[in-house]
Chains A and B, each alone.
Chain A
Amino acid sequence: MTLTLRFLIFMCLFFRLEPLFAKSSLTVYTYQSFVSEWGPGSELKKLFEQKCDCTLKFISSGDGATLISKLKLEGRSSQADVILGVDNSVLLDAIDSDLFLPLVPSKAKLQVSIPDKIRLNAVPFDFGMISVMYDSLKIANPPKSLDDLLERADFKKKLILQDPRFSAPGLSFLDFLSSTYGSRLPEKLKLLRNQTLTVTPGWSEAYSLFTKREAPLVISYTTSEFYHHIVEKSSRYRAALFSEHSINVEFAGVVKTTKNKPLATSFVDFLLFPEAQKIIAQANWMYPMIPESEIKDLNPIFTNASKPKIKELNFLTASDRKKLNNVWLSEFK
């Protein structure tokens, strides 16, 4: 057999034809940690595929603005049917850009009050409080407030921050700072810069470096502590509790260009089913959107942990976001 023939056979094996006949499929764009090995993606996929007799395909991209940007860029050529994981800091931009199909709001009882304009466009599926996670072996006295975090000399170069241009928690934290300090935001960002070891594009990268012990502080959610407690049986990594926390709600929406509207709609509705909510809470490590009492066998940590006081839910417009990002960039450049 000639070398060329062998090579051709080898290439054919690589490019084997996809099956010609397949079930109807649904493509969901989401952020990376949602479909990671420990994320809720695989369990949700299994459960939904049993119900719909279809194939569910998750495609991971960055989080927050990156997801919206990807959808805007792809326009009509996008293969996405559903976008999952858009939070309150970027959702208005997506709605104003006419990316979503209108929905009939679910009748499920929600733990957080969501304005009707939003519920007509997207389904909220979990929420969390923005906080700072700390390594208790390295930090005996955690920050007790934002001022503490920004001003204490022993936190210099100890914080891993997410870039608000790409990351949803990064933008939510910036919004938290903005709503707390108002016009004093630039001077507070200077202080934040002193405390920052590195800025990562997304939450996953930041949390990876934190658990790699590159720095003892990272921006995350109060519920991240639950993960370490339940999965790793460790109390090493804890959430610093402040008197008030900013809240972050994650949404899913049906993409306007979908060719699979009924299936896409049934998927976003499915996200509020108790069994889906349980998977999301216990694998995405966020609070479920429906009351914990309605979810059977939910780990008691979600009900036993005291929920910190939260600030009013804030939806940012595209121009709010741009302004905030510009202030941040001018201080961090």
Chain B
Amino acid sequence: MAKRWSSVFVFATVIWGALAPLTWVVWQVLAGFFSTAEILNYSQLGEMLKFTLLQSFLSSALSIVLGGGLAFSFAGRSLPFRGFIKKMSLIPYSFPTVVVAIAFILCFGRSGWIGQWFGDNVSLMYNTSAIVAAHVFMNAPLVFTTLLLAIESLPQTYERQAKILALSNYSRWRYLVWPELRNDIWGLFLTITLICFSSFSIVLILGGSPQRATLEVGIYSAIKSDGNFGTASLLGLLQILFSAPIILLWKRVLSKQKSRVLSPNNPSLQRDNGHILKTDRFVFFFILSIYLSLILPPLLSIAVDGFRGIFLLGESTQIHVLVGAVKGSLKLSLVSSLGSVLLAWVYARFVIDLRDKFPTLSNLLQEVPWLMMVFSPALLGIFWLYVSIKSSIAVGDLGLGFLMVAHVMMTFPIVYRIIYPPLDRLLVGYHKPMTLLNLTSRVRFWVIEWHELKFSLYAAWGVAVAFSVSDVSTVLLLSGGDYRTLSTLVFELMGSYKFSFAATVALMIGIFSILWAYFVEKLQARQKGDDLGY
């Protein structure tokens, strides 16, 4: 009975979490149209939408060209610093965006490491190029590492066939490589498009003008400048309408993707098998130098300036602020990620259990987490802000609670995608013995599920923590100014003459992110070669 009630509660929570923000946004927009509330004028709206689409398209395309170009020319090539380049490439995409933004100012700003060489009359920052470059900095390494693994996993027979048939580079690409990798490339393109579509910190800090605002920044601005929920909701609705097709397409592409997990037990996947395309040495070094000159300087500037700032930290009376922010980040991320994992696990179980009796309903419910991916952090932020205001609960008292719930809802779709596949495989395999033994829910969890899936659950928890730690917009909207996390502290310090201190905090977050990504990867590897699906 208890199990049934907990499942119904989780089911209702998830359905409410998916439908409530959507209904609220539509209702707010309609209320805005039929009332005297002033909605953003259409030309501003058009500009914002155009800019959001343009920067996300450019960022994705350039990330694919640079990261993909490097992966193809890098594969199978022996180099003195090969291992270093591969390992270094794991760093940028584990960085929260606010760290990337400060790294870019420290490096390419007028007084930055590289920016100062261009003199006082040239500015590399505060324009569309800076925003796109920062996005490429984060995402090109993701493309590089993912595609390199994919290329090196191509069957060795392809290369022999290409040699026997004396295929040109174009033919090799057209007939061997593209059919194998197109889903990976499209998957990466759509992933980056989605990330950049709702970009916040980078655009807000490096944009430099209201003309360069994404819909996400627009939502935040509408609330912060005059508490205009009508405008914010309209922008949110546009975001939903444009991100939904991208998510659908992404889902379709992901379903066709092959698992690329390297395992000694899988003989078809071999490392260092990347001679399928021959690239000119000059072209390779050209691409590599562009890649390194974009990636290395911001990483070095955040490392050096952040390290320098450590020595100023002892003199600073704001050390307690730092400790408070560390606690704030831990509180928020640990609790919300646990909530998210618990919700996703019970919901996944519920969906799987329903499949035998109600297959259509089960399939329908499986789509709900995908639906929830259309809600950006800022949109969830304004929705929960509205709920907190209307519930007449003192924002400061329960603001953290609302923030945690918003984070649970924000990370739930990702966590669900990690937990569902291994849980599904496990429950299918153990279905008969569990039914025969008539195991209780608790026994079933401790004896079977926890034993078999603990590393998947840890990994899902780790990913949720990483998302929560790096969030800025939801915290800024919901915290009411009296709650700090490490990411919002960087934001705050950049606005308080404290660039060195900000760099130090950014370095701390950066180091945490790298270690955390390493930890999650290790957990993933311990899950007996399971593809965790992210």
Question: Which A residues form the contact surface with B (CB < 8 A)?
Answer: 11, 14-15, 27, 29, 32-33, 36-38, 57, 59-62, 65-66, 69-70, 72-79, 138, 156-158, 163, 165-166, 196-202, 204-205, 207-208, 211-216, 322, 329, 332-333
Contacts and interface: CB of A to CB of B under 8 A. Distances in A.
A216 B120 CA distance: 9
A263 B391 CA distance: 27
B221 A77 contact: no
Given A32-B492, A59-B480, A163-B210, 9 more contacts: A11-B334, A59-B396, A60-B481, A69-B224, A69-B226, A70-B480, A78-B395, A138-B120, A208-B494
The 4 closest A-B pairs by CB, nearest first: A198-B208, A198-B126, A205-B495, A165-B225
A11 B330 CA distance: 10
Contact of A333 (B123, B211, B335, B391): B211
Contacts of A29: 481
8 contacts: A37-B496, A66-B225, A69-B224, A79-B395, A200-B495, A204-B496, A208-B495, A208-B496
A69 B226 CA distance: 5
B78 interface: no
A69 B221 CA distance: 11
Nearest to A60: B481
Contact of A212 (B43, B109, B211, B221): B109
Contact of B495 (A27, A202, A216): A202
B226 A65 contact: yes
A72 B394 contact: no
Contacts of B499: 208, 212
Contacts of B496: 32-33, 36-37, 204, 208
Given A60-B481, A79-B395, A204-B495, A214 B225 contact: no
Interface in B419-461: none
A229 to B, nearest CB: 16
Interface in B156-194: none
B226 A333 contact: no
B207 to A, nearest CB: 8
Contacts of B480: 59, 61, 70, 74, 79
Contacts of A59: 396, 480-482
Contact of A208 (B43, B318, B388, B497): B497
B317 A37 contact: yes
Contact of A76 (B327, B392, B396): B392
A157 B389 contact: no
A215 B121 CA distance: 10
Contacts of A158: 120
A14 B331 contact: yes
B268 interface: no
Nearest to A31: B481
B289 interface: no
B227 interface: yes
A61 B481 contact: yes
Contacts of A216: 120
A73 B211 contact: no
B105 interface: yes
Contacts of B360: none
Residue among B44, B223, B394, B481 facing the most chain A CB atoms (10 A cut-off): B481
A74 B399 CA distance: 11
A329 to B, nearest CB: 6
Nearest to B399: A79
B495 A332 contact: no
B334 A333 contact: no
Residue among A38, A158, A333 facing the most chain B CB atoms (10 A cut-off): A333
Interface residues of B, number: 52
Given A77-B395, A198-B125, A205-B495, A37 B225 contact: no
A333 B120 contact: no
Given A61-B481, A77-B389, A163-B210, A157 B123 contact: yes
Given A79-B396, A197-B123, A208-B497, A333 B481 contact: no
B29 to A, nearest CB: 18
B47 interface: yes
A213 B44 contact: no
Contacts of B210: 163, 165, 199, 329, 332-333
Given A163-B210, A333-B47, A69 B495 contact: no
B223 A73 contact: yes
A62 B479 CA distance: 13
B111 interface: yes
Contact of B111 (A62, A73, A156, A213): A213
B276 to A, nearest CB: 46
A166 B225 contact: yes
B393 interface: yes
Nearest to B335: A11
A158 B389 CA distance: 41
A65 B225 contact: yes
B475 to A, nearest CB: 13
B204 interface: yes
A32 B498 CA distance: 13
Contact of A73 (B227, B316, B495): B227
Contacts of A204: 495-497
B396 A27 contact: yes
A73 B38 CA distance: 16
A37 B121 CA distance: 33
A35 to B, nearest CB: 10
Given A27-B396, A74-B389, A75-B389, A165 B226 contact: yes
Interface in B374-409: 385, 388-389, 391-397
A246 B126 CA distance: 28
A198 B209 contact: yes
Contacts of A33: 496
A211 B492 contact: no
A215 B223 CA distance: 29
A174 to B, nearest CB: 13
B135 interface: no
Given A14-B330, A198-B126, A62 B224 contact: yes
B330 A329 contact: no
Contacts of A197: 123, 126, 208
A214 B395 CA distance: 37
Contacts of B492: 32
Contacts of B123: 157, 197
Contact of B221 (A79, A165, A205, A215): A165
Nearest to B116: A213
A201 B204 contact: yes
A150 B281 CA distance: 51
A66 B495 contact: no
B111 A74 contact: no
A37 B120 contact: no
A79 B495 contact: no
Contacts of B327: 14
Interface in B89-131: 105, 109-111, 120-121, 123, 125-126
A28 to B, nearest CB: 11
Contacts of B393: 77
